[in-house]
């Protein structure tokens, strides 16, 4: 930390007052998806297999999702986790149609029975 020197005690008091008065508001604002993250099962991107086939599957699905410009940014950011050839899709999308479209895009890379669709509609 760098020490700051004030010529007047009132200036220092004003800085402290500003910091204290804004701190509770900043701490009370939760991220948009905090509740959802707490409710999610243990499967996260950390569980992504390092096997080449699983990494390739995840990369192909991600590339195909990004190529579809009709999808929202929510759909483009769906979590894709592939473990032993089984794909899990997680995260929010804007509509049921997007949820179905993301699953359909994933099914182009793996069979539908290997997809766990945990996507939610926001």
Closest residue by Cα to residue 58 from 66, 97, 73 = 66
Given a contact cutoff of 8 angstroms between Cβ atoms, the answer to whether 85 and 54 are in contact is yes
CATH topology of domain 34-121: 3.30.1340
* CA distance to 19, 61, 86, 111, 119, per residue, from 116 (Å): 46, 14, 8, 11, 9
pLDDT digits (tens, 9 = 90+) for 82-96: 999 999 999 999 999
Given a contact cutoff of 8 angstroms between Cβ atoms, the answer to whether 105 and 68 are in contact is yes
Task: Check whether 17 has a pLDDT greater than 50.
Answer: no
Given a contact cutoff of 8 angstroms between Cβ atoms, the answer to whether 119 and 36 are in contact is no
Task: Check whether 50 has a pLDDT greater than 70.
Answer: yes
């Amino acid at each position: 930390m760098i020490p700051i020197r004030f010529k007047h005690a009132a200036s220092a008091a004003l800085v402290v007052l500003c910091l204290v008065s804004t701190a509770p508001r900043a701490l009370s604002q939760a991220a948009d998806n905090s509740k959802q993250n707490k409710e999610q099962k243990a499967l996260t991107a950390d569980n992504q297999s390092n096997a080449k086939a699983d990494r390739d599957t995840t990369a192909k699905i991600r590339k195909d999702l990004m190529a579809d410009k009709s999808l929202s940014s929510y759909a483009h950011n769906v979590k894709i986790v592939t473990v032993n050839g089984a794909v899990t899709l997680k995260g929010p999308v804007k509509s049921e149609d997007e949820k179905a479209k993301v699953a359909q895009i994933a099914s182009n890379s793996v069979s539908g029975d290997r997809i766990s669709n945990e996507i939610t509609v926001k």
